[in-house]
Amino acid sequence: MKTKNRPPRRRVPPQDAEAAPGERRPDRLQPGSGPEPTKGLRSRTARAQGARAEGGRRRPGPGGRRESSVQRRLESNERERQRMHKLNNAFQALREVIPHVRADKKLSKIETLTLAKNYIKSLTATILTMSSGRLPGLDGPGPKLYQHYQQQQAAGGGLGDSEAQPEGHLQKYSTQIHSFREGS
């Protein structure tokens, strides 16, 4: 199922119908309306969930959250939004430097990361092949790069037989490009 090629969309907040166009949605901040607690307890966040499950979210006192607390939350939400925007900008920058078949088709985040990983591998392998494991004009770092590469190979590094040679990296990268294009 493909969801690529969508124009960037602006999220329409559920309770924000009256917000002016281009205006940022007012944050929700509805005490007690949050997600239901879930089952498994594992990680840090799972523990957090456990806490939520037991007492749920911190309940607002009489009269709801304190104003200062609400203000802090709003500021925190804004920072989180900015952080995610920066992350998305970085994803976009990455998309722009990864060659792929259909430039008009936006890569998803997971596709971007996967392609980038294999692109780097293929470039590394190509460089090593062309320089025989030695970077041109450099006496020291060349062999180090080669050693690092070999360590990665020896450690498994998720490389299968097809990736034992530079052609293998290229092959995988190329295959991936096409599978993304065709919509796997």
Partner DNA sequence: TAGGCCATCTGGTCCT
Partner DNA sequence: AGGACCAGATGGCCTA
Binding footprint of DNA on the chain (CB under 7 A): 1-3, 5-7, 9-14, 25, 27-31, 34-38, 42-49, 51-52, 57-58, 72-73, 75-81, 83-85, 88, 108-110, 183
Nearer to DNA by Cβ, of 8 and 156: the residue is 8
Give whichever of 27 and 167 is closer to DNA, judged by the CB atom: 27
Cα dihedral 96/110/36/50 (nearest 10): -110
Q: What share of the chain is helix, strand, coil (3-state, %, to 5)?
A: 55, 0, 45
Least distance (Å) between residue 95 CB and DNA? 10
Q: Of the two residues 85 and 144, which places its CB atom closer to DNA in the complex? A: 85
To DNA, the closest distance from the beta carbon of 170 in angstroms equals 24
Cα–chain center distance at 172: 21
Give counts: helices (H), strands (E), the chain. 5, 0
Which residue, 86 or 144, has its beta carbon nearer to DNA? Answer: 86
- Angle in degrees, 0-180, between the axes of helices 166-182 and 109-131, rounded to the nearest 10: 160
67-97 and 109-131 helices, crossing angle to 10°: 40
Q: How far is the CB of 175 from DNA (least distance, A)?
A: 17
CB of 18 to DNA, least distance (A): 15
Query: Radius of gyration over alpha carbons of the chain, in Å?
Result: 24
